[in-house]
Chains A and B, each alone.
Chain A
């Protein structure tokens, strides 16, 4: 199978997953206890308004008809109207998505940058204080609640040192603490993976041959070792994308950033289910597409991959 065929197959494979996600998101409306129309209109409504809204939403029709109508609407990016904000959910999503995306993308880049540097250092200086301290920090990094780390960074850099703003949104300075908070946990995972992957690779025959040829250690590590060690680290990318989006939801609350996370939590409190459905769907779809890209990237960089 050529790589093009592999990519096409991989794209086709996301269709059932996307359908499953839409079924789950559609199900939210019907699984929530209570009558969705009463939730929308409140208890003090006339019977006529109740029936009219029920018909307008199509809730009187069979479930499968409702599902396909829901599917048709989301294909046209029509996610309904927010019950609280009285605005189109699609418009709200379009306004907030860039904030969440910029936070997540910066977090992803920084977590890989920090993680790879520390992972390589730990592997190259194996069983030294550098290795022990990097890996010690890494296991602490995966054990720390992100929002708590955010508070500690706020207390140090904003409250104590006044270097950065406590919270808010708008400038690059506002982005620093949220991105650092988001990336540290991810960096810890990447560092652990980089170290073990690099140590695995440097034991391979071709790396030993490179050494035996008399190549300098630095060249052996970077040209032969790291390039191949990076392949499994790319697989981690798929997992990390979902993890970072989840983290972004919490980080937005900690740093009072207007994004999808904040919008989702507010909607959960207010029982604003069109917004909950919209945000859930858009985040899950982004994660699925991110995973697919990671898989394709993996196939492109790894010539040994079995399609």
Chain B
């Protein structure tokens, strides 16, 4: 099954492009100290607000910091928040969705109601309310996005469990005396992974956008941490004179989110051949 999906995924040109983009950004984040010409915080006031040139390929900001280096280091911030935030969302969502789908009844009703309530808030609004409570900072953003995005994973897991628990092999496992925990871990969860992986890929892209928005509002990464959103917020002050401060961090966000979206789309098509034909 996995080999077949992978084969289909790799046959899609868009998905391969997406995978390459994601891999490139992961490598960029991991190897930032090697790849970046300078450290992200290194200032050189004499070189302030230089247009892109040979020494500074993407120009410099008002402190003479190398924009290329800050964009490269920025990948670390964005991807760390996106991956850890997704892990929090996935953990909460799968846990609650599994309980709701397996038990049904009142537990299911309560979980569904919680999802409905969290979905009543525009994503950014809920994240803002959580950050208001926790105070600004990257850790708050990570928790906020986790608490904002768990609903989608809960709904998916619940939906899968509701269908799967009626399957014969699950009934058989139950009849043979397997514990609920064993049934969930051995049978239900592995067979629910496909839609969760698709959602995860698309979700990571969205979380990167949310992190960028919150940092842009000044509620995420605090100076001098090189976050793409914070760089854009700063670039806004020089919109008329230093276009490179606004253009390059935005391009980085767009490309990495595009990568995750292409992978998500490709995975969805690979896992659901019926959609692929459309």
A residues apposed to B, CB below 8 Å: 16-17, 20-21, 24-25, 28, 31-33, 139-140, 142-148, 151-152, 154-155, 159, 196, 199-200, 242-243, 245-247, 249-250, 253-254, 264-265, 268-269, 271, 273, 276, 280, 283-284, 287-288, 291
Interface stretch of the complex, out of B1-9, B56-64, B110-118, B168-176: B110-118
State which residues 103-129 of B face A: CB under 8 Å: 113-114, 116-117, 119-125, 128-129
Per a CB cutoff under 8 Å, which of A21, A33, A145 touches B117? A21
User: In the complex, how many angstroms separate the beta carbon of A138 from the nearest chain B beta carbon?
Assistant: 10
In the bound assembly, the distance between CA atoms of A253 and B236 in angstroms comes to 11
State which residues 144-168 of B face A: CB under 8 Å: none
Pair A28/B113 contact, Cβ less than 8 Å: no
B residues apposed to A, CB below 8 Å: 113-114, 116-117, 119-125, 128-129, 131-133, 135, 205, 209, 212-213, 216-219, 229, 232, 235-236, 239-240, 243, 246-247, 250, 253-255, 257-258, 261-262, 265, 275, 278
7 tightest A-B contacts by CB? A246-B122, A20-B117, A148-B250, A246-B124, A143-B258, A143-B257, A242-B122
User: In the complex, how many angstroms separate the beta carbon of B230 from the nearest chain A beta carbon?
Assistant: 12
Pair B120/A287 contact, Cβ less than 8 Å: yes
Pair A147/B278 contact, Cβ less than 8 Å: no
Q: List 21 A-B contacts (CB under 8 A).
A: A24-B117, A24-B129, A25-B129, A28-B129, A139-B262, A143-B255, A145-B213, A145-B232, A145-B250, A145-B254, A151-B246, A199-B278, A242-B119, A243-B123, A245-B122, A265-B217, A268-B219, A280-B121, A284-B120, A284-B121, A284-B122
Per a CB cutoff under 8 Å, which of A16, A28, A147 touches B216? A147
In the bound assembly, the distance between CA atoms of A21 and B117 in angstroms comes to 6
Per a CB cutoff under 8 Å, which of B129, B232, B275 touches A148? B232
- Residue in A144, A151, A245, A288 with the greatest tally of chain B CB atoms within 10 Å: A151
Inter-chain contacts of A271 with B (CB < 8 A): 132
Pair A145/B120 contact, Cβ less than 8 Å: no
Q: Which chain A residue shows the least CB distance to B245?
A: A151
